[in-house]
Structure 1
Amino acid sequence: MSRVLVIGGGGRIGQSVASDLVKQLEADVTLTSRDVKTVQEAADGLASTAQALPLDLDDWVALDTAISSHDLVIHCAGPFHDRDARVLKSCIQNQVNYLDVSDHPSFTEKALQYQEQAQAAGVTAIINTGVFPGISNSMVRQDVEALDQPDTIHLSYVVAGTGGAGVTIMRTTFLGLIESFPGWLQGKWQPIQPYSGRETITFPSPYGRVNVFWFDVPERLTLPQTFPVQSVITKFGSVPEIYNGITWALAHWMPKSWLQNRRMIEFLSWGGFVTTQFTDRFSGVGVAMRSAVTGMREGQPTQAVSTLALPDTAIAAGYGTGSIAQLILTQTLEKPGVWPVEAAVPTSLFQQTMAQRNVQIEQVISSVP
């Protein structure tokens, strides 16, 4: 039986990943956290084969020992804004396959530097495997493959309230507002102001028309490297709409020095988390995504659009990561190196694993006037 180590398994995302795993295949799952009580409760509520392991990532010896005794490590201990790649490095040294739910480009850049080492060690390491990034990347690949010559990728996301995740998602959001970031537009990198460029996108029910704004996600970095496109647009929005207004104000009016203060980030994160927990009762905690790729097909301007809506964002992240873990553990997917999802997972396998989880992704291909 395969042995899987879920680092950060006491958190909402880690628990969702572990839950998906035990539903789809037989595996011994070990959940880790610095909080002994939290991780033990998570393990007790998961399956008889689940175990809890208190673990601090700063304890390098204990980390290395835990990794060496498993077949697959799944890194869910965010936020990833200031994480280093020590978990990935240990996996490579111990020849253990690796996944993570990282959601910040700075971590993505660090992880991709280990491409050659992972390849030489025969380690399959796939990063950014949750929902966005994660499922979103595979939706884009599906749309790119529908065209003969893709030109522009436009990714949009909307999350209701907390998305069913913990306070970490709030930290990630506010950390993404600190500074401008490079966007791939018209064949070159251009500076983008966070939460600018408001645009109204129609998402699947129950969301409908939602305002979305530029947001810094790993897809804006990896998609131009994977596909020969001229532009990659990544935009994010929240419901209720009032949260978009608050986030926009923080991005445009609050002094950047305040956002760079860790105490301020914690204050905003916990304040936002408490507030959204209240509004979650009315808004739900779901997620919707829309991938739109424009280009040429059979000599005609064409757009391929894929859409998805799920009622719980954290569970959706579990689907994204759990599906790739399933492919690796069953030896259906083997690709030594460090890869973003869209460069590692074939569309046929993506569609197969999503169908197993009753996830419906609608794709429409139409001519562009």
Structure 2
Amino acid sequence: MTEQVLILGGSGRIGSSVAADLVAHTQAQVILTGRHEAAGMSVTQELGSKVKFLGLDLADDSVLRDAIASCNLVIHCAGPFHYRDDRVLKLCIKEGVNYLDVSDHPSYTRKALDCREEAAAAGVTAIVNTGIFPGISNSMVRQCVEQLDETDRIHLSYLVSGSGGSGVTVMRTTFLGLQKPFEVWIDGQWQEIKPYSDREVIEFPPPYGRTGVYWFDMPEAFTLPETFPVKTVITKFGTVPDFYNYLTWSVAHWWPSSWLRNRYVIEFLARVSHRMTDVSDRFTGVGVAIRSEVSGRKDGQPAKFCSTLVHENTAVAAGYGTGSLAELVLTGKLKKPGVWAVEQALPTDLFEHTMQSRGLNIHQEWLPQKN
């Protein structure tokens, strides 16, 4: 029988990129869902006969339950995940259907991970945070950690050009991430950090070079120290062109917190930003860069290992991250009942194989130690 994959929010930029990857690398029948039929039909026509559209509102429990029950795998791409609960995941567990998502906010990740025992008992493999960052980035960290004998510090830096080829939902996610301080794991203890603070200039691969990044609230900030015995985890994010960073910094530091907790303000900022990137994308492109640097010890000596990735389209790369996991789950190569972050579920050999099959090159190197 042909495998059936349900992509919630499948007509958006990220969801359609996941669907495109499934069409390219699996034989599955893909069902995209969304509230806007015109957008959904446009995507299905572009992707071909293996993709169908189903009009669906996530608030409609009965239709959602029937759609989940008819599939072998559900991929949740309907963000922003700041507003989502664990209802879709729990329906998948109840129906015995495997689950992936592209969630990118700690509040949702914690809700999902709390369902681990329930999913394990049902034999359901559920993996969260499966896009580009978090997602591919988490597996890059695992690559680095496995090169060392002991790990002390993880430093993840992300850079996106303009819109990253994504829709307005990603813009909402950025501004939602500025709403309040968050906790990070520094020197073996949790410390509170203000979002978009502590600018740091990082050397990314060409064409980006030295670019500023800032603290940003990401789920890997707590899943990585839960996964690996590490004293410090740093997650920082920046955009190109650099003036977007200064605009975002000013919103995070100068605007009243009550404004940032207002949905209408967030929507205004997201819409204005998306219009701005519609212009700047023509000059900057929509690419992404990730740099993972892990420090520790190798053969008794201090050591640093670094992996970097660059792709010309952030949304497409996110599709690779989720699509590759879907391929592994559908073929039975990845089966781990429970709910897991990517770095907890995906072995490095499978990660490297699926990235190579998609032509995604990850550069790895030992960094010199400073005297």
- State the TM-score, normalizing by the size of structure 2: 0.99
**Which moves more between the two structures, 358-367 or 81-90?**
358-367
Cα shift at 1:366: 3.3
Which letter maps to 1:49?
K
* In structure 1, distance between residues paired with 2:329 and 2:264: 40
Query: Which residue number corresponds to residue 206 of structure 1?
Result: 207
Which letter maps to 2:257?
K
Cα shift at 1:41: 1.3
* In structure 2, distance between residues paired with 1:346 and 1:151: 21
Q: 1:125-274 alignment to 2 at 5 Å?
A: 125-274=126-275
* In structure 2, distance between residues paired with 1:337 and 1:69: 21
Query: Which residue number corresponds to residue 46 of structure 1?
Result: 47
Gaps (5+ residues) in structure 2? none
Deviations 1:100-149 (A, max 9, x none): 00010010011001000000000000000000000000000000000000
* In structure 2, distance between residues paired with 1:336 and 1:25: 22
- Secondary structure at the counterpart of residue 56 of structure 1: coil
- Secondary structure at the counterpart of residue 356 of structure 2: helix
Cα shift at 1:252: 0.4
* In structure 2, distance between residues paired with 1:3 and 1:262: 35
Which letter maps to 2:284?
S
- Secondary structure at the counterpart of residue 367 of structure 2: strand
Which letter maps to 2:43?
A
1:365 matched to 2:369? The reply is no
Query: Which residue number corresponds to residue 283 of structure 2?
Result: 282
* In structure 2, distance between residues paired with 1:352 and 1:267: 42
Cα shift at 1:367: 4.5
Deviations 1:277-331 (A, max 9, x none): 1100000000000000000000010001000000000000000000000000010
Confirm or deny: 8 A CA contact 1:203 1:209 kept in the other structure: yes
Q: 1:267-346 alignment to 2 at 5 Å?
A: 267-346=268-347
Deviations 1:24-74 (A, max 9, x none): 111100000011111111112112121100000000111000000000000
Query: Which residue number corresponds to residue 65 of structure 1?
Result: 66
- Secondary structure at the counterpart of residue 297 of structure 2: strand
Deviations 1:134-180 (A, max 9, x none): 00000000000000000000000000000000000110000000100
* In structure 2, distance between residues paired with 1:132 and 1:176: 14
Query: Which residue number corresponds to residue 8 of structure 2?
Result: 7
- Secondary structure at the counterpart of residue 156 of structure 2: strand
Query: Which residue number corresponds to residue 355 of structure 2?
Result: 354
- Secondary structure at the counterpart of residue 280 of structure 2: helix
* In structure 2, distance between residues paired with 1:123 and 1:11: 26
- Secondary structure at the counterpart of residue 132 of structure 1: coil
Deviations 1:233-290 (A, max 9, x none): 0000000000000000000000000011111000000000000111000000000000
Deviations 1:321-353 (A, max 9, x none): 000000000100000000000000000000000
Gaps (5+ residues) in structure 1? none
Which letter maps to 2:369?
V
* In structure 2, distance between residues paired with 1:344 and 1:127: 10
1:81 matched to 2:82? The reply is yes
Cα shift at 1:368: 2.1
* In structure 2, distance between residues paired with 1:3 and 1:306: 35
Which letter maps to 2:303?
T
Q: How many residue pairs align between the two structures? A: 369
Which letter maps to 2:112?
A
* In structure 2, distance between residues paired with 1:174 and 1:183: 19
The alignment yields a C-alpha RMSD, in angstroms, of 0.6
* In structure 2, distance between residues paired with 1:194 and 1:66: 38
* In structure 2, distance between residues paired with 1:265 and 1:49: 36
Which letter maps to 2:233?
V
Deviations 1:159-212 (A, max 9, x none): 000000000011000000010000000001000010111100011111111000
Confirm or deny: 8 A CA contact 1:301 1:367 kept in the other structure: no
* In structure 1, distance between residues paired with 2:263 and 2:313: 29
- Secondary structure at the counterpart of residue 45 of structure 1: helix
Query: Which residue number corresponds to residue 23 of structure 1?
Result: 24
* In structure 2, distance between residues paired with 1:286 and 1:317: 11
* In structure 1, distance between residues paired with 2:293 and 2:7: 33
Deviations 1:210-238 (A, max 9, x none): 00000001110100100000000000000
Which letter maps to 1:98?
Y
- State the TM-score, normalizing by the size of structure 1: 0.99
* In structure 2, distance between residues paired with 1:49 and 1:229: 44
* In structure 1, distance between residues paired with 2:3 and 2:153: 41
Confirm or deny: 8 A CA contact 1:300 1:367 kept in the other structure: no
